[in-house]
Amino acid sequence: MKKTALLILIVCLMCLSGCTTEKQSFLFGTIVSVRLEGGKAYKARDAIFGMLEDYERTLSPDIEGSDVYRINHSEANTPVQVSDVTLFLLREAKRVFVESGGAFNPAMRALSELWGFPGGLTRVPAKEEIDGILPYCSMDYVVIDEVKSVVTRLSEYTKIDLGGIAKGYFADKSYETACEHGVGRAVLNIGGNIYMAGSGTIAISHPRADGEFFGLLRVSDVSVVTSGDYERYFEAEGKRYHHILAPDGYPSRSGLVSVTVIGKNSTVCDALATAVMVLGEECGEELMRNYPDLMFITVSEQKTCSVWNDKGIFELSDESYSVTYRK
Ligand code: ADP
Ligand code: MG
């Protein structure tokens, strides 16, 4: 009897001091890794992965039968019934599309396919190929009917890819799930979209030195999202072509190599990181100023770094770069 009581006490103490669990998986074409401490960490972990697998089945353009797949394979002008999450993300995406003057544009899947990014068979398309479909690669060709829960594409060349915003949403939802399970501290990394529950330090990857970090951020209960030209790219005839496309249908050449956005709403941070990558510092300034609660760190080809809407949480690691705090 005494032994049983002791065992129960040890188990209780272990649970009070917090259970820790880690898991990695490959979802949505990227690595998802979570580390959770305290509360119902194991239950939270399983709930998060179950939820992410559901989202993948709904949102992946590569999974037959997903909402996005059905939109991309529908007849032009024919409404497609979709779920609430698809409607929500398309609405958010369209808002940032308008706000960024088309720099953030999830209707460019057909162009990404021309470049071969989705399947990995990359190549430089002819200008005529790009110009031939460019006018249709616009959210203006995607009609969202929230009342009927249907989405209609107006051209067969209009294809959607929510890859530039969905990982942020997954980070938000993973954080919510961790909180619901009383988890005290968690690092939720959805392919580089990180949500930190509790406090800790997050390293920003170096855009030009593989495996090294560029700077450190001391954060608590906030998301850190980085978009850059160094994760997915190919080289042809000495030129680098990366996967974030500008409104002209070519990889963005704004002078920026990475953009990090820090804020509570990872969905918005994700879309804005891509938008600012495309716009560059000068054209992106107005957009960044529209979000005073979000901090932006932009890194340029010229080895300069700017911090916008500073919150005093950034420390540069690579001293060969200069930092300017933009007031
Ligand atoms: P990553 O974490 O892969 O760097 P991003 O959040 O920067 O992702 O978004 C890039 C993904 O979004 C691409 O894989 C592509 O599917 C899509 N994409 C490419 N260019 C744009 C753009 N200008 N606006 C919105 N989405 C884009
Ligand atoms: Mg993004």
Three-state SS string over 63-94 comes to: CCCCHHHHHHCCCCCCCEECCHHHHHHHHHHH
CB 23 within 8 A of CB 36: no
- Among all ligands shown, which has an atom nearest to the Cα of 68? 1
User: Which residues, at least 6 apart from 94, have a Cβ–Cβ distance to it below 8 Å?
Assistant: 139, 142, 144
Nearest Cα residue to atom 12 of ligand 1: 164
CA dihedral 67, 73, 78, 84 (to 10 degrees): 10
Alpha-carbon gap, residue 181 to 128, rounded angstroms: 53
CA dihedral 43, 46, 49, 52 (to 10 degrees): -60
Q: Which of 250, 41, 56 shows the shortest CA–CA distance to 134? A: 250
Q: How far is the CA of 233 from the centre of ligand 1 (A)?
A: 12
CB 61 within 8 A of CB 108: no
Nearest Cα residue to atom 6 of ligand 1: 164
Q: What is the pLDDT, as a whole number, of residue 1? A: 43
Nearest Cα residue to atom 16 of ligand 1: 163
Amino acid at 232: R
Pocket (CB within 6 angstroms of ligand 1): 104-106, 108, 112, 161, 163-164, 191-192, 227, 231-232, 243-245, 270, 274, 278
CB 161 within 8 A of CB 112: yes
Nearest Cα residue to atom 8 of ligand 1: 164
**Sign of the torsion angle spanned by Cα atoms 84, 87, 91, 92:** positive
Q: How far is the CA of 18 from the centre of ligand 1 (A)?
A: 37
Q: How far is the CA of 274 from the centre of ligand 1 (A)?
A: 6
Alpha-carbon gap, residue 311 to 314, rounded angstroms: 8
CB 114 within 8 A of CB 130: yes
Residue 28 CB neighbours (<10 A)? 21
Residue 256 CB neighbours (<10 A)? 24
Element spanning 55, H or E:
helix 41-59
> Could you read off the pLDDT tens digit of each residue along the chain, which spans 327 residues?
455 555 555 444 445 556 899 999 999 889 999 999 999 999 999 999 999 999 999 999 999 999 999 999 999 999 999 999 999 999 999 999 999 999 999 999 999 999 998 988 899 999 999 999 999 999 999 999 999 999 999 999 999 999 999 999 999 999 999 999 999 999 999 998 999 999 999 999 999 998 899 999 999 999 999 999 888 888 888 888 999 999 999 999 999 999 999 999 999 999 999 999 999 999 999 999 999 999 999 999 999 999 999 999 999 999 999 999 997
Please tell me the total number of residues recorded for the chain in this structure: 327
